[in-house]
């Protein structure tokens, strides 16, 4: 596999990111978050969300491998809000490259501590974050609004000192 190339997402990436986000979300979350939230996580909803996010902020970075989007991160201030790697690239090291970039971006924003929320029972993601030096700080009920309704996702708060 060629080394991943990291670059800011552009509007040309919106469909690829939304496809990957939709697939990855449904790999990791159904049964672990309220069913009403899972029902609202449609491909269309991810398309709208990614299009807005890429157009309005400069906080999405993609990892490209052989011309394909293999994964992406989204940052919001000191929060690493999304870390997603497509199925074919899991276990390949792309995730570590992306998370390291996310940590650098949070630090460059002037923050010393990065945090993220990971759903209780998303064992693969939690194992990955621990291996990358993140610390489980405990329960974090995380409010998520989808199509006008707010749901509480049972999460754990992970942190890492980055500055």
Ligand X SMILES: CC(C)(COP(=O)(O)OP(=O)(O)OC[C@H]1O[C@@H](n2cnc3c(N)ncnc32)[C@H](O)[C@@H]1OP(=O)(O)O)[C@@H](O)C(=O)NCCC(=O)NCCS
By CB under 6 A, residue 157 contacts ligand X: no
Instruction: Please enumerate, as own/partner, the contacts of 43-47 that have beta carbons within 8 Å and a separation of 24 or more.
Output: 43/18, 43/19, 45/146, 45/147, 46/18, 46/21, 46/22, 47/14, 47/15, 47/18
Minimum CB–partner distance for residue 25 and ligand X (Å): 7
By CB under 6 A, residue 122 contacts ligand X: yes
By CB under 6 A, residue 125 contacts ligand X: yes
Minimum CB–partner distance for residue 126 and ligand X (Å): 8
By CB under 6 A, residue 133 contacts ligand X: no
Q: Where are the alpha helices (DSSP H) in the chain?
A: 14-28, 35-40, 43-56, 94-108, 123-131
Structure tokens at 99: 């998370």
Instruction: By CB under 6 A, name the one of 123, 136, 139, 149 that touches ligand X.
Output: 123
Minimum CB–partner distance for residue 24 and ligand X (Å): 4
What residues make contact with ligand X under the rule CB under 6 A?
24, 27-28, 83-85, 90-91, 95, 118, 122-125, 127-128, 131
């Amino acid at each position: 596999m060629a080394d991943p190339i990291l670059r800011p997402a552009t509007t040309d990436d919106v469909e690829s990111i939304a496809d990957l986000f939709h697939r990855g979300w449904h790999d990791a979350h159904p049964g672990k978050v309220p069913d009403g939230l899972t029902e609202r996580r449609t491909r269309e909803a991810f398309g709208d969300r990614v299009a807005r996010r890429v157009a309005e902020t400069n906080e999405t970075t993609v990892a490209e491998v052989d011309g394909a989007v293999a994964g992406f991160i989204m940052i919001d201030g000191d929060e690493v809000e999304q870390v997603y790697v497509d199925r074919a690239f899991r276990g390949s090291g792309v995730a570590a490259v992306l998370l390291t970039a996310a940590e650098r971006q949070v630090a460059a924003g002037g923050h010393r501590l990065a945090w993220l929320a990971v759903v209780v029972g998303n064992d693969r993601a939690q194992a990955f974050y621990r291996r990358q030096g993140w610390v489980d700080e405990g329960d974090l009920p995380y409010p998520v609004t989808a199509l006008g309704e707010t749901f509480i996702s049972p999460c754990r708060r992970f942190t890492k000192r980055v500055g």
